[in-house]
Amino acid sequence: MDSAALAERIEKLRDLLRNYEYHYYVLDQPLVSDNEFDTLMRELAGLEAMHPELISPDSPTQRVGGKARESFPTIRHRAVLLSLDNAFSLKDLQDFGQRIQRSEIESGYIAELKIDGLSIALVYENGVLVSAATRGDGINGEDVTANVRTIKSIPLKLKITLPRLEVRGEVYLPKREFVRINQEREERGDKIFANPRNAAAGSLRQLDPGITAKRSLAAFIYDIVFIEGDEISSQKAALELLTSCGLPVNRQYRACSGIDEVYSYCLECDENRHKLPYEIDGVVVKLDDIAARSLIGQTAKSPRWAIAYKFPAEEKETRLIQVELNVGRTGVISPTAVMEPVALAGTTVSRASLHNFDLLKEKDIRVGDLVLVHKAGDIIPEIIRSFPEKRDGSEQEILPPRHCPACGSNASQSSGEVALRCENINCPARLKESLSFFSSRDAMDMEGIGPALVEQLVDRQLVKNIGDLYAMDEELLSGLDRMGRKSAANILRSVENSKVKPLHRLITALGIRHVGSKTARLLCHQYRNINDFLHLDSAELTAIPEIGPIVAASITGFFSEEHNRDLIERLRQAGINMEEGAALQLSTALNGKTFVLTGTLESMSRIEAAEKLQSLGARVSGSVSQKTDYVVAGSDPGSKYDKAVQLGVTILSETELQDLLENA
Ligand code: IVH
């Protein structure tokens, strides 16, 4: 390709990709499959890697880049980012309307959803995103440009090129993403986010943009702060222009001629808010006519031409009847509140996780208490607080049990952990969870073995450990409730089929703490036979970039435990495949080559680089030795670089690495 053709192809790819991103993330109407999108993105990244001089910051490949920083520099906003006065009733809205009428202004209103996220100010120069800042104190905000660039619904380049456009909007976390992140945090023992707004703020204010990129933040833009190259006379026109620019604009706004119409819109939105995939906490009412805004002016804190109608808080009082204790797969005993049912945010709520006993004590919650409940992220029921002042003395404190509620063994709390655990590895409650997990889709994928069947198998003592699953026969199954010949045959077939699954499924199925299916796959790239796992040591594991000391200790701990080694032997006897097949290996181009990564890479994180190398059959190690084939050095490389020079190991630059990945 000559250089003109190359530049043309690159521009063409960028335009295509931008348009696909716009349809996917802004309009929610994908035009092409993920696969097609990825193929074009790879082609673009490949061309840019070979011709780094053609990389431009508004290219779709350039969303995640730059390294973690130590703090955020501040950006001074061109115009102070004001906040809004609140209205809580029709009366408050009417007062707002009357103040406007008194100024003899004749303009309608635009009512918009009030998105519950955090405010953001964006600057586009000649159509290209140049800066993004948080609200901060309204005068100065934090420069979060690198993080905002990772938000896919925010275009790096506008569809319309204006010399300058400064806008304001809201960054938020979709409800589902909030639930996902909290689940992950709870599993890891990290503190959970109280609501999507905190989670969005926590995700945006990450010093490492790579972390922000993994959080699926989204945004809506609702205001033009400054514009050069066009003029805007109304809020409606502003929203239309923002839309034409390709910015994400919430389309559910309504033009209202008077306050009564505004109020009925508010009631409608409150009624429907639970159906939205993101949280809203009210409606923002704005005077449509922009010229009229300057007539009516502003106070020190907020404009007089807009107001935020806040929905009533969705909290209800109810009574805590009982606390149920559940024992999970890893033996964690967790308390669940059973309450008198209440209607809350669109559903009836009667149960809520109490997370752990430390939290119960902290919140001073007792059985019989009147409690205040809400839904975190509009989804997960949670007790906010109790009302100690309303007690009559009959309430009972909830103490952590000393014994497992399922098997009576000792329950203990290891130091530094909030979780309380049953110490008995053969506890029937743990066993039920383990069996369900072992047979689940991501693990050994045994169709037909669900919680109901597991319950019977364990309660009747037909299955006492995982290995017994493979000893089941038709006779045993036919004795169970609701079990026909056909279902029994299907179950036995799916058990049989599970025997030939690749090793990473077995590693997942064993339910080692901190080892999900992703980590299991990663491990099985390197350790391809179960015997390799039996002799692992922590140092070797932590040499894999994704594996930290906690995960490594959990893995080595698991395989050194006698019970677990017995189980593996039993499974081996049952004829289960204990090797990773060739199927997982995508390519063998780098088979047997050992890589070490050092320094910061611009185009991808070290983890991504390691994953790509491993998918091509390479081994990625944490330390440089005689056996290392290549050291990839990003910017500011560490002592591994010096060691590589000393040992004469081949050193690759980031561009060379990209070439290698593209051409392998
Ligand atoms: S307009 C001067 N419109 O609510 C007017 N704000 O206190 C600036 N918000 O800080 C705000 N959705 O973070 C506006 N459609 C919307 C909004 C919205 C959410 C937030 C914004 C602001 C707060 C109001």
**528-566: per-residue pLDDT in tens?**
999 999 999 999 998 887 788 888 998 999 999 888 999
Asked whether 571 and 563 are in contact (CB, 8 A), the reply is no
pLDDT of residue 586: 40
Q: Is the pLDDT of residue 662 over 80?
A: no
Mean pLDDT (whole number) for 459-486: 91
On the question of pLDDT at 208 being above 90, the answer is no
Q: How far is the CA of 114 from the centre of ligand 1 (A)?
A: 6
Supply the pLDDT for residue 613. 87
Q: Ligand 1 within 6 A of 222 CB?
A: yes
Residues in the chain: 664
Which atom, in ligand 1's list, is nearest to the CA of 308? 24
**Does 213 score more than 90 pLDDT?**
no
User: Which phi and psi (to 5°) does residue 654 adopt?
Assistant: -65, -40
- The Cα–Cα gap between 80 and 89 comes to 28
Reported as type and span, the H/E element at residue 52 is: none
249 lines ligand 1 (CB under 6 A): no
Beta strand 86-87 with 630-633: parallel, antiparallel or unpaired? unpaired
For the chain, what percent of residues have pLDDT higher than 70?
98
Average pLDDT in the 150-160 region? 96
Question: How far is ligand 1, taken at its centre, from the CA of residue 621, in Å?
Answer: 49
pLDDT of residue 391: 96
pTM over 0.75: no
- Do the Cβ atoms of 319 and 366 come closer than 8 Å? no
Is 394's pLDDT higher than 90? yes
Tell how far the Cα of 310 is from the centroid of ligand 1, in angstroms.
12
First to last CA, the chain: 20
**Which pLDDT value is given to residue 351?**
96
Which residue has a Cα nearest atom 23 of ligand 1? 83
Does residue 582 surpass a pLDDT of 60? no
The C-alpha torsion from 337 through 342 and 344 to 347, rounded to 10°, is 90
pLDDT confidence of residue 115: 96
Q: Could you tell me if 454 and 432 are in contact, meaning their C-beta atoms sit under 8 angstroms apart?
A: yes
Write out pLDDT tens, residues 276-308. Answer: 999 999 999 999 999 999 888 888 789 999 999
Most confident among 114-128, 428-442, 594-608 (mean pLDDT): 114-128
Please check whether residue 89 is in contact with residue 269, taking contact to mean a CB–CB distance below 8 angstroms: no
Top mean pLDDT of 189-193, 408-412, 656-660 is at 408-412
Q: Is the CB of 280 under 6 A from ligand 1?
A: no
Does residue 112 have its Cβ closer than 6 Å to ligand 1?
Answer: yes
Whether the Cβ atoms of residue 386 and residue 364 lie closer than 8 Å to each other:
yes
Please work out whether the CB of residue 284 comes within 6 Å of at least one atom of ligand 1. Answer: yes
Q: Which protein residue's CA is at the shortest distance from atom 22 of ligand 1?
A: 83
pLDDT at 663: 62
Tokens of 571: 């499974």
Q: Which of 324-333, 364-373, 426-435 has the highest mean pLDDT?
A: 364-373
User: DSSP letters of 371-416?
Assistant: EEEEEETTTEEEEEEE-GGG--S--EE-PPPSB-TTT--BEE--TT
State the pLDDT confidence band at 16, using cuts at 50, 70 and 90. Answer: very high
Report the C-alpha gap between 522 and 548 in whole angstroms.
Answer: 13
Query: Which pLDDT does position 196 carry in this prediction?
Result: 86
110: Cβ contacts below 8 Å, ≥ 6 apart: 234, 235, 236, 239, 253, 254, 255, 256, 285, 286, 288
Q: Which of 81, 96, 114, 278 to mutate to test the pocket of ligand 1 (most atoms within 8 A of CB)?
A: 114
Residue labelled with tokens 């400054």 = 226
Our answer on whether the CB atom of 303 is closer than 6 Å to any ligand 1 atom is: yes
For position 211, what pLDDT does the model report? 84
> Which residues are known to be catalytic?
114
Name the closest-CA residue to atom 17, ligand 1: 114
- Of residues 470, 501, 467, the one with CA closest to residue 569: 467
Tell me phi and psi for residue 68, to 5 degrees.
Answer: -60, 145
Looking at every residue in the chain, the average pLDDT score rounds to 90
605 pocket-lining for ligand 1 (C-beta < 6 Å): no
C-alpha to C-alpha distance for 466 and 576, rounded to whole angstroms = 12
- Strands (E) in 298-331, as ranges, are 306-310, 316-327
86 Cα–ligand 1 center, Å:
11
pLDDT at 283: 98
- Mean per-residue pLDDT for 246-264? 96
C-alpha 128 – ligand 1 centre gap (Å): 24
- The answer to whether the CB of 325 falls within 8 A of the CB of 334 is yes
What's the mean pLDDT in 241-262? 96
Rounded to the nearest 5 degrees, what angle is found at the Cα of 171, between the Cα atoms of 168 and 177? 165
Q: Ligand 1: which residue has its CA nearest to atom 21? A: 119
Q: Hey, what amino acid is at 460?
A: R
pLDDT digits over 631-649, tens only?
999 888 888 888 888 888 8
Q: Residues 500, 504, 506, CA angle at the centre, nearest 5°?
A: 60
108 C-alpha to center of ligand 1: Å?
19
Alpha-carbon span 468 to 480, nearest angstrom: 16
pLDDT score recorded for residue 188: 67
Q: Is the CB of 169 under 6 A from ligand 1?
A: no
pLDDT range class, residue 469, cuts 50, 70, 90: very high
pLDDT value at position 584?
37
